[in-house]
Amino acid sequence: MKKVSKPEYLEYAQYYEPYIELVQTDISVLDQLKKNSQKIASTFLKTPEEKLLRPYAPGKWSLKDLLMHMIDTERVFLYRAMRFARRDQTPLPFFDENNYAIEAKANDLNTRKLVKEYTAIRQASLAFFNNLNASQFKHTGMASQFNMSVRACAWIICGHELHHWSVMLDRYGLQPVQG
């Protein structure tokens, strides 16, 4: 897959910095996205349903909620990337991930269907990013009142996922399965 260089300091809001720092710099962010999705999909499919439905603490999301949050976030950032790549300068608003989680009702979904949605959005993301040229990755737009580049969207998607994968392993005790 193509190499997408790390975004510069002014290509994203600074509250995304912790996510961007989680992304490896020695391999392509797109390769990482592909590898991560295989690992996450396999793990979810082999995890007992009762574990996927249980939050790690009162008031926290279940693993299914967390996977749906990752899907929703990727979908939002992919949409932002597409708009910016096409030079659409219309400012894009914040999105309320907590409201999205409530409305998604992920715990009511069949795990296979949830994983299928996850892998579908990842395939769409990879197809989109792989069809961009180097110049398009540097296009920018406004999202959540901050300047953001297309390549920052790719890195944020990856780093956001890595952050939540770590939470799944550490707080939920999820046991990774190789794809």
pLDDT tens string, the chain, 179 residues long: the values are 789 999 999 999 999 999 999 999 999 999 999 999 999 999 999 999 999 999 999 999 999 999 999 999 999 999 999 999 999 999 999 999 999 999 999 999 999 999 999 999 999 999 999 999 999 999 999 999 999 999 999 999 999 999 999 999 999 999 998 75
Neighbouring residues of 130: CB distance < 8 A, sequence distance ≥ 6: 1, 2, 30
Structure tokens at 111: 């795990």
| pLDDT in the model for residue 157 | 98
| pLDDT in the model for residue 179 | 56
Please return the burial class of 142, using the count of CB atoms within 10 Å of its CB with bins 0-12, 13-18 and 19+. Answer: middle
> Can you say how many angstroms the Cα of residue 41 is from the centroid of all Cα atoms in its chain?
13
pTM score above 0.75:
yes
Q: How far apart are CA 71 and CA 138, in angstroms?
A: 24
Helix or strand holding residue 38 (H, E)? helix 29-45
Neighbouring residues of 81: CB distance < 8 A, sequence distance ≥ 6: 128, 129, 150, 153, 154
| pLDDT in the model for residue 1 | 75
> Can you say how many angstroms the Cα of residue 77 is from the centroid of all Cα atoms in its chain?
8
Whether the Cβ atoms of residue 140 and residue 149 lie closer than 8 Å to each other: yes
Q: How many helices (H) and strands (E) does the chain have?
A: 8, 2
Q: How far apart are CA 46 and CA 77, in angstroms?
A: 28
Tell the CATH superfamily of the 38-170 domain.
dinb family like domain (1.20.120.450)
